[in-house]
Amino acid sequence: MNIEKVIFGFFILLAFTLNFGFVIGEIDVAHQHDVFELFAAIVVNLIATTLKFGDRTQVGALHLATSLVADLQLITAALVWGHAEYVSGVGMTPGVTSMIVSFAAGALAANVVSVVLLIGETLQHRR
């Protein structure tokens, strides 16, 4: 067992599951989407991104691209949340909540691609 691959897979799957946990629920109901889960998803996605920098293969480049897309979408969701709460004072209206969850759902799609790549790469690995 290679501990680096275990850590790599752990962070990819954790990023996916945290992102999924945030997105699940009614899209316009604010109390079903926890801010701390979004924060955890952002932090774990950033860690997963840094782990992908060393791989110079084509699949590694695709892993990095999917992770960067997920980071961008999650950070945008957090910025929209912060702007609605602290800058504009609008608060978490159904429209704002839908926008935040939509950005997080985009990140979820990128994380799904990353998990599929990881599974495909694992299945191709020969002993």
Q: Tell me the per-residue pLDDT of 30-53, one tens digit each, with 9 for 90 and over.
A: 999 999 999 999 999 999 999 988
Average pLDDT over residues 71-77: 98
User: What number of H helices and E strands is found in the chain?
Assistant: 4, 0
Residue 53 half-sphere exposure toward CB, CA atoms < 13 A: 6
pTM comes to 0.91
